[in-house]
């Protein structure tokens, strides 16, 4: 009986030792696993922090790159602008020379049809009336053309290469010619006394009357102002045809004194 009891006690002791050993090993393994998990969490956190830091550095690098590219672009534009400014230097005398080569140019044509009237019947003072067949009477109609423009040789030009301006002094437009179309003459009436034939001077006076009426109409209309505008447009186009002028220089006009 004692032997059995001793064996049982020994068995219980062995089992207790094994249980305790197993429990200790299990706790050790759990602790090791917890330590491993903690280390992994630390590593993960460090990796995330490193990743975040790299992203921030990358973003900064991108911004710096963009800033450098913009600075480079601005510098190139400034250099191009400086080069362009050096290239474009206008000479006022050279421009005047080119304009004067145009000489006198009609910038507008005014076509007209006018009537000339001649009535020179004699009048006796004591009757106070004209007597038929004792004078001259004629009515004619003729077409004509007035050409107006400026004398380009009188145009004066000044340049300011700092302010980038070209100032052009332009004389006012004037009538350059007033010509009648002889083939257009129509005689509406031509009553003459047998004693008073129409002379060449009479014909000239009729033509002069027709031309003077046309000149008067031109002065009353905006024809000369329109001629001024077209002359300025022509001069502006000529100046802006010079390389690197259009878009870089402002062309201004003023009346020539």
Do 206 and 123 share a domain, yes or no?
yes
Question: Do 135 and 231 fall into the same domain?
Answer: yes
The Cα–Cα gap between 42 and 50 comes to 12
Model confidence band, residue 87 (pLDDT cutoffs 50, 70, 90) = low
Q: 211 and 104, same structural domain?
A: yes
Band (pLDDT 50/70/90 cuts) for residue 127 is: very low
- pLDDT, residue 178, reads 93
User: Is it the case that residue 126 has pLDDT exceeding 60?
Assistant: no
Question: Looking at the structure, do residues 249 and 127 belong to the same domain, yes or no?
Answer: yes
Considering the entire predicted model, what is its pTM?
Answer: 0.54
Mean pLDDT for the chain overall: 76
Residue 131 pLDDT > 60: no
Mark whether 63 and 99 lie in a shared domain.
no
List the single range of 11-25, 110-124, 191-205, 236-250 with lowest mean pLDDT: 11-25
Last residue of a domain, one of 46, 70, 87: 87
**Judgement on whether residues 60 and 182 belong to the same structural domain of the protein:** no
Query: How far is Cα 197 from Cα 188, in angstroms, rounded to an integer?
Result: 17
Distance of CA 112 to the CA centre of its chain: 37
The residue out of 32, 60, 87 marking a domain boundary is 87
CB 172 within 8 A of CB 148: no
- Among 87, 103, 124, identify where a domain stops: 87
Residue 112 and residue 83 in one domain:
no
Q: Are residues 98 and 182 in the same domain?
A: yes
Structural domain tally of the chain?
Answer: 2
Inform me whether the pLDDT recorded for 235 exceeds 50: yes
pLDDT at 211: 93
Q: pLDDT of 173-203, one tens digit each?
A: 889 899 999 998 888 775 555 555 777 888 8
Are residues 57 and 125 located together in one domain of the fold? no
CA distance 236 to 126: 67
| pLDDT tens digit sequence for 11-20 | 666 666 565 6
pLDDT: which is higher, 134 or 208: 208
The mean pLDDT of 130-144, rounded to a whole number, is 72
- Residues 69, 117 within the same domain: no
Q: Are residues 67 and 13 in the same domain?
A: yes
pLDDT of residue 212: 92
For the cut 80, the answer to whether the pLDDT of residue 226 exceeds it is yes
Q: Is residue 7 domain-shared with residue 52, that is, in the same domain? A: yes
Q: Which domain holds residue 20?
A: 1-87
pLDDT-based confidence at residue 68 (cuts at 50, 70, 90): low
131 or 201: whose pLDDT is higher? 201
pLDDT score for 83:
47
């Amino acid at each position: 009986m004692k032997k059995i009891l001793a064996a049982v006690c020994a068995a219980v002791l062995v089992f207790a030792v094994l249980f305790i050993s197993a429990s200790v090993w299990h706790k050790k393994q759990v602790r090791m696993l917890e330590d491993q998990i903690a280390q992994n969490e630390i590593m993960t956190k460090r990796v995330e922090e490193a990743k975040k830091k790299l992203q921030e550095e990358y973003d900064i690098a991108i911004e710096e790159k963009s800033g450098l590219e913009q600075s480079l672009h601005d510098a190139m534009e400034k250099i191009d602008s400086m080069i362009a400014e050096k290239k474009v230097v206008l000479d006022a005398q050279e421009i005047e020379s080119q304009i004067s080569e145009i000489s006198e140019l009609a910038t507008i044509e005014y076509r007209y049809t006018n009537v000339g009237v001649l009535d020179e019947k004699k009048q006796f003072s004591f009757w106070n009336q004209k007597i038929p067949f004792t004078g001259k009477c004629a009515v004619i109609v003729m077409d004509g053309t007035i050409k107006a423009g400026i004398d380009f040789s009188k145009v004066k030009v000044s340049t300011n290469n700092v302010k980038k301006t070209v100032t052009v002094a332009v004389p006012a437009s004037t009538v350059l010619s007033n010509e009648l179309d002889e083939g257009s003459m129509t005689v509406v009436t031509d009553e003459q006394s047998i004693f008073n034939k129409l002379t060449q001077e009479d014909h000239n006076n009729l033509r002069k009357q027709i031309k003077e009426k046309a000149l008067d109409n031109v002065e009353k209309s905006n024809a000369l102002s329109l001629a001024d505008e077209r002359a300025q447009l022509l001069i502006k186009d000529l100046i802006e045809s010079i390389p690197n002028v259009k878009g870089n220089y402002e062309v201004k006009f003023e009346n020539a004194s």
